[in-house]
Chains A and B, each alone.
Chain A
Amino acid sequence: MKKDLLSISDLTSDEIHLVLDTTEAMREIGQRPIKKVPTLRGKTIVNLFYEPSTRTRTSFEIAEKRLSADTLNIAVASSSVLKGETLSDTAMNIEAMSPDMIVLRHASSGAGHLLSRICRSRIINAGDGMHEHPTQALLDAFTIREHKKSIAGLKVTIVGDLLHSRVLRSNVLLLTKLGAEVWVSGPQTLVPAGIERMGVRVSTNIDLAVADADVIMMLRIQQERMHGAFFPSLREYFNVFGMTKARVERAKPDVIIMHPGPMNRGVEIASEVADGPYSVILEQVANGVAVRMAVLYLLAGGAEVD
């Protein structure tokens, strides 16, 4: 494995399979009465979060603690960034205390790359702007593999705010690398220019996009990233692109419905779908901890897990 995990493109397909296989072992630790192994004892991991995050930060922290790492959370309010220290200076200060890894969440695309050029510590990207969120894609892949055995050959349809989504970019890289047929769908105003060059099929016709899908992955409408009017109203968005029971029925009978959270019920997904029989949304959250344990373990050099 490379020094850092900034993008899914840092991983070969063999390495992705290794992460997913390792996740199986990590999940077993989470099912023990004492959910802790000494694997990363003596390692220091800094969770440096420049954006509010509940799920991802908690997931990393639980993963780190289950592996016995010493963890430290730094939550930086974005308002203080403007008047305070630069990211480079913060990074150099943290680096001076010799952590082993830094888990970074930041509103700017490429923030992890900047850190990576400054720090000897390993950098794990926990979401950078509109760029990537690699551990989310890994946990999504693990969840898909659980249900579908293999990813190659599946039709995976990703629906929603494609433009602003880091989850989209990481998933497209990962799923195409493992041989899935990836469709993306959303309002034309939220389709990134040139996205088809990433190897996906683009359709603004959601019914076409979800037809015979093995997996439907919903993306959140990120209202905080909406700088302009991309669609007329949330109500109209739901009418045109919302995942309803009727639309789900166009997919394969054994389709699974995924969502990286947090969900906007009644905007991108109907509650009856989110809570329905095809939904694997809470499994994704559960798998997040095991995947992050696997990533931390493998980046740390893959010592023995007992």
Chain B
Amino acid sequence: MSKRLLRGARVVDPANGRDGAFDVLIEGDRIARVGRDLPIDDETTVVDVPSGLVVCPGLIDMHVHLREPGQEHKETVATGTAAAVAGGFTSVACMPNTRPVNDNAGVTEYILRKAAEANLARVYPIGAVSRGQQGEQLADIAELRQAGCVAITDDGHPVATAMLMRRALEYAGMFNLPIIEHCEEQTLQADGVAHEGFHASALGLRGIPGEAESIMALRDIALAELTRGVVHIAHMSARQTLDAVRWGKSRGARVTCEVTPHHFILTDEMLGAPVPYDTNVKMNPPLREAADRDAMLVGLADGSVDVIATDHAPHHYDEKQVEFDRAPFGITGLETAVSLCFDRLVHPGVVSLARLIELLSVNPARILSVKGGALSEGAPADISILAPDMRVTVDAGRMRSKSKNTPFDGWTLRGGVAATIVGGRVVYANEGVSLQL
């Protein structure tokens, strides 16, 4: 069995209370030991990790769209997982709004087979709450669980009615499956394409108020209390929603939440500048105003936010090269998240590096009950090696994702990914880093 010792690196492993110089011994696909000055035998390959790099439990993006089956022109499991590992993620959880919808074991197994063929990041399928995501009948949730789904959601839309959500929480609760909820009160959303406020008004774009999100979050939190079910609020954008989550947590409701990098960095000011009506700033939920963005930063810092997820939503160039109101919602995120988190959260002191690892690894692993989140002895060797001080210039053209729809193209950021190890295998190594893996 191959043995590899990552020596002398700064290890940040908050689940085990570690932050300091440690050696990490990988044997085969497992973490064998973590400690100081571990002994070396003849069979061990020693990798001296250059100072400045950080070894942490593999990052987990619990909200991505891999588009396969059915929309392979946007992304495939292979290209999406290539993007994931290049972005430092060892695991991704993929949304069920494929064609056909992942509402049965056949689709789940298809996705898992594609993931095994790609053999890059781990892929955790998320099943649909309702058959065809139509919001009428429950999908075969036990079957989805059996096939490998780690959560259920009707993402793209909220669970259509309060009654269906109640039943889903009760039913999924039997299998300890969390329900991930895309919160959007549909009648308030109307035909909105941007955050309701000055910028949308000035540009003549139909608005979506923050309350469209928070009202649905409040419904779901109330139902989580009623049923003792578990609800995870996806891609939170409005400050009112964060308040709703805090309220739910204070009452003991089983609610967690995530925020995307774009919602804690960008605002609706980007609708008009630098590129007016840039369809790469069109996503759902929309970019909101500075007060919302700042509230997300506070929530990240004070512990109210549990997870950073990207909502990686690839779309083909042709689909985005249209009038703003006709363009699909969404942007890519897997290959920019780590750089954005370092540049906007860690370096300015919004959160510590340990807290960032909680947000990107520990908490998603806990919420989805999947492997990872800790560098524990005997655990699968899923490891991200990060380069906090690396200068990165985002270049959409060079991304591994099949789609290039990012508003961060051309941004220069401090922080990047040195290497990604999944099950003891180096699945990504950044050419710009002198790390002999």
In the complex, the answer to whether A110 meets B190 with C-beta atoms within 8 Å is no
For B324, list chain A residues within 8 Å (CB): 108-110, 114
Which of A109, A130, A198, A228 is in CB contact (< 8 Å) with B277? A109
Residue of A with least CB distance to B205: A109
Highest count of chain A CB atoms <10 Å: which of B201, B205, B318, B326: B201
In the complex, the answer to whether B276 meets A194 with C-beta atoms within 8 Å is no
B197 within 8 A of A: yes
List residues 309-345 of chain B with CB under 8 A from any CB of chain A: 318, 321-326
In the complex, the answer to whether B190 meets A192 with C-beta atoms within 8 Å is no
CB distance from A50 to the nearest CB of B (A): 10
Convert B238-280 into 0s and 1s, putting 1 for each residue whose CB lies closer than 8 angstroms to a CB of A.
Answer: 0000000000000000000000000000000000000111000
Contacts A109-B277, A110-B276, A110-B324 known; A193 to B197 CB distance under 8 Å?
yes
A227 within 8 A of B: yes
Cα A192 to Cα B198 in complex, Å, equals 8
In the complex, the answer to whether A108 meets B325 with C-beta atoms within 8 Å is yes
A129 within 8 A of B: yes
In the complex, the answer to whether A192 meets B201 with C-beta atoms within 8 Å is yes
List residues 196-229 of chain A with CB under 8 A from any CB of chain B: 197-198, 227-228
In the complex, the answer to whether A197 meets B198 with C-beta atoms within 8 Å is yes
Contacts A87-B323, A108-B324, A108-B326 known; A194 to B197 CB distance under 8 Å?
yes
In the complex, the answer to whether B200 meets A193 with C-beta atoms within 8 Å is yes
Residue of B with least CB distance to A194: B198
Highest count of chain B CB atoms <10 Å: which of A106, A166, A193, A195: A193
In the complex, the answer to whether B201 meets A194 with C-beta atoms within 8 Å is yes
For A110, list chain B residues within 8 Å (CB): 203-205, 276-277, 323-324
In the complex, the answer to whether A193 meets B207 with C-beta atoms within 8 Å is yes
CB distance from B354 to the nearest CB of A (A): 39
Residue of A with least CB distance to B206: A130
CB distance from B134 to the nearest CB of A (A): 23
In the complex, the answer to whether A109 meets B203 with C-beta atoms within 8 Å is yes
For A192, list chain B residues within 8 Å (CB): 201, 207
Residue of A with least CB distance to B325: A108
Cα A130 to Cα B199 in complex, Å, equals 13
Which of B190, B197, B209, B325 is in CB contact (< 8 Å) with A129? B325
Which of A87, A131, A194, A198 is in CB contact (< 8 Å) with B204? A131
A12 within 8 A of B: no
Residue of A with least CB distance to B198: A194
CB distance from B409 to the nearest CB of A (A): 15
B202 within 8 A of A: yes
For A233, list chain B residues within 8 Å (CB): none
In the complex, the answer to whether A114 meets B201 with C-beta atoms within 8 Å is no
Highest count of chain B CB atoms <10 Å: which of A86, A114, A117, A195: A114
Contacts A109-B277, A113-B276 known; A198 to B323 CB distance under 8 Å?
no
Cα A117 to Cα B276 in complex, Å, equals 10
For B276, list chain A residues within 8 Å (CB): 110, 113
Cα A192 to Cα B206 in complex, Å, equals 9
A111 within 8 A of B: yes
Cα A86 to Cα B320 in complex, Å, equals 11
Contacts A193-B196, A197-B198, A198-B202 known; A114 to B190 CB distance under 8 Å?
no
Contacts A/B (CB < 8 Å), 15 sampled: A86-B321, A86-B322, A88-B322, A109-B204, A110-B204, A110-B276, A113-B276, A128-B204, A129-B204, A130-B205, A131-B204, A193-B200, A194-B199, A194-B201, A227-B191
